C-alpha cells in the first residue's frame, strides 16, 4: 500500500508529547506536575462505571445530537442551580466529548 506524501506533514500532538514526557519523568521517580492532557489522577467513581454498564446493557451506544442529550443538559441545569445558584435553560448548555 502506498501512503500519500502529505501524510509526512503530520506530527504527534504536542499535548500528547508533553503527556508522554511527563509519564516518563514520573516513571524515573521525578516529582512532576503535569498540566498537559488534563487527565484525572484518580480512578473513575463507581457511580459512573455503573451508569456506563447500564447504558451498554440498554444498547445506548449510538452517537447523540451535537449539543448532547436533553436528559444530560437538564441534569447539568439542576446541578448548576443546586450547587452554584445559577439558572440556565437546557438550550444554553452544550455537552461535548473530548476532541482534537
pLDDT tens digit string along 23-76?
999 999 999 988 887 777 788 999 999 999 999 999 988 888 888 889 999 999
Residue 81: the pLDDT is 97
- Contact (CB, 8 A) for 67 and 94: yes
Does residue 99 or residue 44 have the better pLDDT? 44
Question: How far is residue 52 CA from its own chain's centroid?
Answer: 14
The predicted pLDDT at position 95 comes to 85
Q: How far apart are the first and last CA of the chain?
A: 27
What pTM was estimated for this model as a whole? 0.53
**99 pLDDT tier (thresholds 50, 70, 90):** low
Q: Is the pLDDT of residue 98 over 70?
A: no
Evaluate if residue 100 carries a pLDDT over 60. Answer: no
Q: What sign results for the dihedral spanned by CA atoms 41, 43, 47, 51?
A: positive
Distance CA 56, CA 15 (A): 30
Amino acid at each position: 500500500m502506498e501512503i500519500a506524501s502529505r501524510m509526512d506533514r503530520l506530527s504527534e500532538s504536542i499535548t500528547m508529547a508533553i503527556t508522554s514526557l511527563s509519564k516518563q519523568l514520573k516513571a524515573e521517580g521525578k516529582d512532576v506536575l503535569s498540566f498537559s492532557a488534563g487527565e484525572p489522577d484518580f480512578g473513575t467513581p463507581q457511580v459512573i462505571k455503573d451508569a456506563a454498564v447500564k447504558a451498554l446493557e440498554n444498547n445506548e451506544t449510538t452517537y447523540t445530537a451535537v449539543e448532547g442529550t436533553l436528559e444530560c443538559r437538564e441534569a447539568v441545569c439542576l446541578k448548576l442551580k443546586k450547587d452554584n445558584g445559577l439558572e440556565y435553560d437546557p438550550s444554553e448548555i452544550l455537552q461535548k466529548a473530548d476532541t482534537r
